Amino acid sequence: MGAFHSVPEDHEYHLLAKKTGFSLEQIVILHNRFNQLSHNSDVLRREDLRKIPDLACNPIQSQIVEAFFDERNFKKGGEGSVQEIGFEEFLTVMSYFRPPETHLTAEQKEEIRRTKMRFLFNMHDTDNDGTITLEEYRHVVEELLSRSGSLGKETAKSIADAAMLEVASISMGRMGPDEFYAGITFDHFLKILKELEIETRMNIHFLNMDTTFFCK
């Protein structure tokens, strides 16, 4: 267990706990991990994340890393991206993956769903114009297929085109001949991925995470 660079106040932890919903225990563990990744400094940079060896094998590695530095994920209405983040931002991004509590009302569940979907949407919508254009979607599919090697971009393009068209047909129904489907808005995004049950899938078990053994 590495020594803390600075021992945070207990009440800071409480604030964080209230803000993100993590328990104190989980915050301590995540703070350890943060310190490990940032080599005991207060800020985390992109290179620190890129150094994680397992992450290097991930096809969408760059997008995951970007998500940590995206202002939109830190608070509502944020824009652009930053070069380095502190522990609070790290924790905020992690909180998107917290499993929902059991006894929630339907609205709360819906809210959680929207939050998670917003995170996902932001990952795709790199230029922050509120829509996922065809180019951006193509980029997503290319990244997904990037590890499979020899296929090249064209299959990815056609898949992305197909997907785009599907969204268009589901969201807009009949399009008039003059209409042009500019991009997937957040509402359309919600609609097409309704079946995915993201509130149950996009979760990480934050319990019992003793990261010190598995540190890399």
Partner 1 sequence: MTARTRFCGGLLRISRALRTVALSLVTGCVFSVHASFGAVHGDNDTSHSSGHGTHTKTHNTTYPATRAFPVLTVNYDHVRKPFEISLWILLASLMKLGFHYIPRVSSVVPESCVLIVVGLLVGGLIRLLGETLPVLDTQLFFLCLLPPIILDAGYFLPTRPFTENLGTILVFAVVGTVWNSFFIGVVLYGVCQIEGEQLAAVDLLACLLFGSIASAVDPVAVLAVFEEIHINELLHILVFGESLLNDAVTVVLYHLFEEFASEGQVTVVDACLGMVCFFVVAFGGILVGTVFGLVAAVTSRFTAHSRVIEPLFVFLYSYMAYLSAEVFHLSGIMALIACGVVMRPYVEANISHKSYTTVKNVLKMWSSVSETLIFIFLGVSTVAGPHSWNWAFVIITIFLCLISRVMGVVGLTFIINKFRMVKLTGKDQFIVAYGGLRGAIAFSLAFLLPSDHFPMKNMFLTAIITLIFFTVFVQGMTIRPLVDLLAVKKKKQTKFTINEEIHSQFINHMLSGIENVCGHYGHHHWRDKLSRFNKYYVKKWLIAGERSQEPQLISFYNKLELKQALLVAESGSAANIGPGLSSAALLSAQSQKQRTVMKNISKEREEEIRKILRANLQKTRQRLHSYNRHTLVLEEEDEWSTVQLRRQRVELEKRMTHYLTVSASGWDSPPVRRARFQSDSQEYMAKPSAPVSIPAINMELVSAPPGSLALLEEVTDQAQQSQDEGCGMHANSHEEKSMKPNVTFALELEKQKLSRCLSDPGPNKIEVEAEEKEHFLS
Q: Binding residues for partner 1, how many (CB under 8 A)?
A: 70
Residue with tokens 């209405």: 77
Kindly tell me which of 9 and 46 has the beta carbon lying closer to partner 1: 46
End-to-end CA distance of the chain: 13
Kindly tell me which of 63 and 115 has the beta carbon lying closer to partner 1: 63
To partner 1, the closest distance from the beta carbon of 115 in angstroms equals: 15
To partner 1, the closest distance from the beta carbon of 193 in angstroms equals: 6
Residue type, 26: Q
Among 12-20, 69-77, 80-88, 197-205, the segment contacting partner 1 (CB under 8 A): 197-205
Number of other CB atoms surrounding residue 155 within 10 Å: 13
Q: Residue 106 interacts with partner 1 (CB under 8 A)?
A: no
Q: Which of residues 123-162 bind partner 1 (CB under 8 A)?
A: 123, 134, 140-141, 144-145, 147-152, 154-155, 157-159, 161-162
Q: Residue 49 interacts with partner 1 (CB under 8 A)?
A: yes
User: What CA–CA distance (Å, rounded) separates 94 from 42?
Assistant: 17
Kindly tell me which of 54 and 79 has the beta carbon lying closer to partner 1: 54
Q: Residue 91 interacts with partner 1 (CB under 8 A)?
A: no
Residue with tokens 């996009």: 202
Q: Residue 83 interacts with partner 1 (CB under 8 A)?
A: no
Interface with partner 1 (CB under 8 A), residue from 94, 95, 142, 190:
94
Interface with partner 1 (CB under 8 A), residue from 9, 47, 178, 187:
178
User: What CA–CA distance (Å, rounded) separates 63 from 11?
Assistant: 33
Q: Which residues bind to partner 1, rule: CB under 8 A?
A: 30, 33, 36-37, 49, 52, 54-55, 57-61, 63-64, 68, 94, 97, 99, 102, 120, 123, 134, 140-141, 144-145, 147-152, 154-155, 157-159, 161-163, 165-170, 174, 176-178, 180, 182, 192-193, 195-196, 198, 200-206, 209, 211, 214-216
